[in-house]
Amino acid sequence: MGGDRATRLSGQLPARSRLLPGEADFSPPDHSSATVTPRRRRWILRRPETLPEIDHLRLKAVLVHCPELDALTTHVRSFAQMLTERQGERLPQWLDAVRRDDLPSLHTLAAGIERDRDAVIAGLTLPWNSGVVEGHVNRMKMLKRQMFGRAGFALLRKRVLLAI
């Protein structure tokens, strides 16, 4: 109801009254086909060789106009390569490259990685992981959430034992 009133009032205003002084000649450039939206972040996250040609061309058009996004793309793909190819020994060089660029959000990530550098290098290098344990913990938490406020500890204990 209130939204209808606002729409009607806005429609009654002359178009020029909605512009700031000096904005009458301004028309924003149309980059609708080349903007990176949250749904198109896959342009950066996918392997470049698996990206469809049209998406590759659109990404290239965006990167030409935005050097920060170009640097971000380079760092993300480099980190993904370290992760998939288990090249943890490259982490110090990657951190240095991130610090050289003016990307505050990546600086925050780099600072977090730096605090636990040895563990991150081990995680990027060694074949072992704690995925199985994390899966069990996640399942136990789900059971606990399902049972919250419904029954006592005895039933929760039975469900946990049966889930194992």
Check: pTM over 0.75? Answer yes or no: no
What percentage of the chain has pLDDT greater than the value 70? 76
Mean pLDDT, the chain, rounded, equals 81
Q: How far is CA 7 from CA 3, 14, 19, in A?
A: 6, 13, 17
Residue 35's pLDDT is 59
Both structure tokens of 154: 């005895």
Residue 126's pLDDT is 92
Residue 10's pLDDT is 54
Residue 25's pLDDT is 45
Give pLDDT tens digits for 68-127: 889 999 999 999 999 999 999 999 999 999 999 989 989 999 999 999 999 999 999 999
Both structure tokens of 60: 């290239």
Per-residue DSSP letters for the chain? Answer: -HHHHHHHHHHHS-GGGGSPTT-TT------TTT---GGGTHHHHS-GGGS-HHHHHHHHHHHHH-HHHHHHHHHHHHHHHHHHTT-GGGHHHHHHHHHHS--HHHHHHHHHHHHTHHHHHHHHH-S---HHHHHHHHHHHHHHHHHTTTS-HHHHHHHHHHH-
Q: State yes or no: pLDDT of 136 exceeds 70.
A: yes
